[in-house]
């Protein structure tokens, strides 16, 4: 009898362990996989920051496959990885791969600001590929949706205005581009103040297009890849001639960050503006306008990334219209 009871206890215990394992073991395995996924994500980001884009692409591809398996194709982290890998693929010149990734992300993006951002991401790749009709349509769709669904101060409204201006200029419709850039300039004055780089850039591009200038108008005319190459070269030249801690290097970093933001490479844009802001703390005779430019751009990148809380913290000590500060604080409190 004792043997039977002991055997029964053993069986019940074994069944109980199997039930527990079926309920919790998969979760534990997923936790381990998620830790490995996060480690791969961090390694890929480090490689991208160091400029080793091919190695970063391999790590991001592996992390993306794992994220789809663990979290699903429509999970926010999966969509973030698609965006990071697409940005790296643009950097390596693989625009076909970048397009495929942006299209996948667009199809899986949630309605609202997520879909609008994904539309802008896809439009930028189309513009880089010189698929001008498709780029124009996507930017128009994004602008219409942003105006209908988002607050007027949302950064994606300004991004859609500028993007549609780029696509219009690329198609030869300079008149429409000039009007859109003028509207973009007013939008940024109302949201972040007169010194914001988007306002300055929009006003500059407006004048370049209106005057029919070619020199310096690559960005104004929608040639984002040429603009990135030129501004990357300008940054290298500033570093060579002046060194790290110099106003000209900061100006070049901010200019490159503007292009990276239009390329929808928000991580690289963030790093450029972050570095520019940090350099300004070492320069004599501050505060500097270039620091204001960099910090306002950091706020916009954070808002585009959905990190309103960090944006509100940075904006707290910056000069900006009270209405804009209140809007950002409200987003942070949501």
List, for residues 200-220, the tens digit of each pLDDT value.
Answer: 555 555 555 544 444 346 666
Q: Please check whether residue 290 lies inside any domain of the structure.
A: yes
CA distance 292 to 277: 8
Least confident of 11-20, 134-143, 149-158, 190-199: 11-20
CA 23 to the chain's CA centroid? 38
Q: Please check whether residue 114 lies inside any domain of the structure.
A: no
Secondary structure class of 71 (helix, strand, coil)? helix
pLDDT score, position 197: 52
Q: Please check whether residue 317 lies inside any domain of the structure.
A: yes
Range of the domain at 312: 224-333
CATH of residue 317's domain is: 1.25.40.10
Secondary structure class of 183 (helix, strand, coil)? helix
| Nearest Cα residue to 146 out of 189, 107, 117 | 117
**Higher-scoring residue by pLDDT: 138, 221:** 138
pLDDT of residue 7 exceeding 50, the answer is no
Distances from the Cα of 281 to the Cα of 49, 289, 304, 321, angstroms: 22, 12, 25, 24
Q: Which DSSP category does 323 fall into? A: H
Range with the largest mean pLDDT of 179-188, 189-198, 313-322: 313-322
Secondary structure class of 320 (helix, strand, coil)? coil
pLDDT digits (tens, 9 = 90+) for 31-44: 556 678 888 889 99
pLDDT score, position 194: 60
Q: Please check whether residue 293 lies inside any domain of the structure.
A: yes
Q: Please check whether residue 241 lies inside any domain of the structure.
A: yes
> What sign has the CA pseudo-torsion 143, 144, 146, 150?
positive
**How many independent structural domains does the chain possess?**
1
| Nearest Cα residue to 89 out of 50, 115, 128, 116 | 128
> What sign has the CA pseudo-torsion 193, 259, 222, 88?
negative
């Amino acid at each position: 009898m004792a043997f039977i009871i002991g055997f029964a206890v053993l069986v019940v215990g074994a069944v109980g362990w199997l039930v527990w394992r079926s309920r919790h073991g998969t979760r534990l395995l997923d936790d381990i996989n998620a830790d490995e996924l996060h480690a791969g994500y961090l390694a890929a980001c480090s490689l991208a920051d160091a400029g080793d884009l091919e190695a970063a692409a391999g790590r991001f591809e592996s992390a993306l496959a794992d994220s789809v398996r663990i979290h699903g194709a429509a999970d926010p982290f999966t969509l973030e990885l698609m965006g990071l890998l697409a940005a790296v693929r643009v950097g390596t010149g693989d625009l076909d791969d970048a397009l495929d990734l942006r299209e996948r992300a667009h199809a899986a993006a949630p309605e609202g600001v997520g879909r609008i951002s994904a539309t802008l991401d896809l439009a930028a790749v189309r513009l880089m590929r010189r698929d001008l009709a498709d780029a124009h349509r996507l930017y128009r769709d994004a602008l219409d949706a942003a105006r209908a669904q988002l607050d007027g101060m949302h950064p994606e409204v300004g991004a859609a205005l500028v993007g549609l201006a780029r696509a219009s200029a690329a198609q030869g419709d300079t008149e429409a581009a000039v009007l859109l850039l003028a509207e973009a300039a007013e939008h940024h004055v109302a949201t972040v103040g007169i010194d914001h780089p988007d306002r300055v850039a929009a006003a500059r591009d407006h004048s370049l297009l209106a005057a029919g200038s070619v020199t310096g108008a690559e960005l104004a005319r929608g040639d984002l890849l040429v603009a990135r190459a030129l501004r990357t070269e300008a940054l290298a030249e500033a570093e060579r001639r002046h060194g790290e801690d110099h106003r000209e290097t900061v100006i070049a970093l901010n200019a490159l960050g503007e292009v990276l933001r239009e390329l929808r490479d928000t991580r690289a844009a963030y790093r450029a503006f972050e570095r520019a802001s940090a350099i300004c703390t070492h320069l004599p005779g501050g505060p500097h306008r270039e620091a204001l430019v960099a910090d306002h751009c950091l706020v916009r990148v954070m808002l585009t990334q959905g990190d309103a809380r960090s944006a509100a913290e940075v904006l707290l000590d910056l000069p900006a219209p009270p209405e804009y500060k209140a809007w950002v604080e409200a987003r942070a409190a949501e």
